[in-house]
Amino acid sequence: MFIDIMEFRDAVLGLIRQHKTKSESGSKTLSHIGQNIYSRAEIINPQQMLYSVGCGIYLEVTLEEAKEMVEARIE
């Protein structure tokens, strides 16, 4: 179980790093809007993301804040 959590953490942090280096304003993505339904979206500010805190509540955070929150949640 512990290994799975650490692998998950590494995967999430890798995605944040990848987003940080590759994303540009105007990039396209798919946004999950519920029940396996996705909508096309445009990334306006690649230095921020939405972080789910549960119960359908999201915080708009910087990539660095997201990284810290992921690490804190796993500890």
Q: Quick one: pLDDT band at residue 2, thresholds 50, 70, 90?
A: low
CB 41 within 8 A of CB 53: no
Residues 6+ apart with CB under 8 A from 8: 74
Q: Report the predicted TM-score, pTM, of the whole model to 2 decimal places.
A: 0.57
What is the DSSP track for the chain?
A: -HHHHHHHHHHHHHHHHHHHHH--TTEEEEEEEETTEEEEEEES-TTEEEEEEETTEEEEEEHHHHHHHHHHHH-
Going by C-alpha positions, the residue among 55, 70, 57, 61 that lies closest to residue 15 is: 70
Per-residue pLDDT of 12-55, as tens digits, reads 777 777 666 555 566 787 888 888 899 998 878 878 888 888 89
